[in-house]
Homo-oligomer: A and B are copies of this chain.
């Protein structure tokens, strides 16, 4: 047995409560290295005398590692346990002290694994609407002009031209309201909007005043109307919380520029000197951008201020959650407070971090519900666009991604192929419609919820920012496009099935050509086969054409 591969970490994605009396336990082994795995367990006050034993099933088959899993239903949640492993030759116990041939249960209180007690306050609850949602992400300036009467003098590009970094096209909140039926018509039932607050830029990630809707986009009445119209349609809205940094024109930073240390806001920023200067740059900023000074979120007055914003839009406008910009550069300390106060204000408001990397430390129940799943994005690019992975490799990769987090988190992951921060996926696959379609099928079938960047449904191409932020092609949107129909069908499948992580199986067919995804749903089950080779692939008598895919729900072919 490859002992180096064995891993179990208590109080992590390897051991997490899913309810007041249920705990899911995982064990990592080397791929294909062992034959059977059991968990031996009991209340920690009884395990010295007697033990229960339950076999675990292989849940994920990753690149280097297999992950076995089981969910225990417990009377006493003071859980103590060790693993019992059969590698085909020998039996091993695996405890905090590693793998051993023998195990002394009498002295096990020194080295058993344990989940000491399920405290309700520590359980990450699943927000059901989030795991069932299909998101539509809008970069507002480029989506749709709704207010024909507004001062249009700021608009400096023709709708449909290629955007430049400082282009303004005129999209606004009314323009979104006008298109809600369209968005719902393609099956999306949740909006994620890039920032809407007063800001000099087109992207509005440099906010001047968090308490005002930017006048290019409308006003607070428009926001009220948008939320109401969404909720009337059974749709949700998530806004962009830009709390890492602010515009240099924000009054608080401006005060510091003017008064230096005398300003009451001096400690709201991180300044190495008595006065912020750009040359040499002596204050912390976002990504080297001098016009975006970073908030000092370790300062409790800053935390109070940012919380007042977060709660204002929940309490006054009834929004359904926040996407957290550059969330990984802000303290855990702040996000813990954020969660407590946001969830107290609205229980099923969602918190979605922009963490491009392993974020498991933010996803333990005390901070976010979910993140934008860029690890999935990268895998989709490597498989569909860059030909870096075959089906077998891709299956293992996707399993590894799932193994990073708890099932509860996986069910809430915001999966995406692209966003305002990447090249458009459609361009990455060389504007190959078949590849986009297959990738969309994967996006909708992968545990979590899909997020479509506006324009995807009309084959909008685009390179990196600002090219990925082109104007929405409303002429194309009026046509019967295969991709639009597909997106609608895929969202119907999600609604029909109501998937949960449990029972997910991702593997490659024996001929190595098909990527196969099996999902289990509350109402129906589904199976997806993707072929990214130039030969026909077969799995259990299902034949899939070269570069094609097939989707079955309860055994019937849907797409």
Measured CB to CB, the residues of A under 8 A from B are 2-5, 9-12, 30, 45, 63-65, 78, 96, 98, 109-114, 116-117, 119-122, 287-288, 297-298, 328-334, 336, 356-358, 361, 364, 366, 374-375, 377-378
Contact = CB atoms under 8 A, between A and B. Distances in A.
Contacts of A64: 3-4, 98
A121 B328 contact: no
Contacts of A358: 9-10, 96
Contact of A329 (B109, B112, B116, B331): B116
Contacts of A122: 331-333
A10 B328 CA distance: 12
This protein's copies in its complex = 2
A401 to B, nearest CB: 10
A377 B110 CA distance: 9
Contacts of A2: 4
A298 B98 contact: no
Contacts of A114: 328, 357
A113 B328 CA distance: 13
Given A12-B361, A114-B357, A334 B121 contact: yes
Given A116-B328, A119-B331, A122-B333, 15 more contacts: A4-B5, A4-B65, A10-B357, A12-B361, A45-B288, A96-B358, A110-B356, A110-B374, A110-B377, A111-B375, A112-B357, A117-B328, A119-B332, A119-B333, A121-B331
Contacts of A4: 2, 4-5, 30, 64-65
A364 B12 CA distance: 14
B63 A98 contact: yes
25 contacts: A4-B4, A4-B30, A10-B357, A45-B287, A63-B98, A64-B98, A110-B377, A111-B357, A112-B357, A116-B328, A116-B329, A117-B330, A119-B298, A119-B329, A119-B330, A119-B331, A121-B298, A121-B331, A122-B331, A122-B333, A332-B364, A333-B366, A336-B336, A336-B366, A361-B364
Contacts of A329: 78, 116-117, 119
Contacts of A120: 298, 331
A356 to B, nearest CB: 6
A184 to B, nearest CB: 33
B331 A109 contact: no
Contacts of A109: 356
B119 A297 contact: yes
A125 B477 CA distance: 56
Point out which of A2, A358, A366 has the most chain B C-beta atoms below 10 A from its C-beta.
A358
B298 A111 contact: no
Contacts of A121: 297-298, 331-334
A334 B121 CA distance: 8
A220 to B, nearest CB: 32
A425 to B, nearest CB: 14
A288 B49 CA distance: 14
A98 B400 CA distance: 11
Nearest to A10: B358
A282 B164 CA distance: 68
Contacts of A96: 357-358, 375
Contacts of A330: 117, 119
A179 B16 CA distance: 47
Question: Which 10 A-B residue pairs are closest in the complex by CB-CB distance?
Answer: A119-B331, A121-B333, A4-B5, A116-B328, A117-B329, A121-B298, A110-B378, A121-B331, A120-B298, A4-B4
A328 B117 CA distance: 7
Given A2-B4, A298-B120, A333-B122, A357 B113 contact: yes
A351 B144 CA distance: 56
A356 B116 CA distance: 10
Contacts of A10: 357-358, 361
A43 to B, nearest CB: 9
Nearest to A340: B333
Nearest to A288: B45
Contacts of A98: 63-64
A78 B328 CA distance: 10
A503 B285 CA distance: 36
A2 B65 CA distance: 13
A192 to B, nearest CB: 21
A498 B9 CA distance: 33
Contacts of A119: 297-298, 329-334
Contacts of A331: 119-122
A298 B120 CA distance: 6
A113 to B, nearest CB: 7
Contacts of A375: 96, 110-111
Contacts of A356: 109-110
A239 to B, nearest CB: 22
A223 to B, nearest CB: 30
A228 B240 CA distance: 54
B378 A111 contact: yes
A374 to B, nearest CB: 7
A80 to B, nearest CB: 9
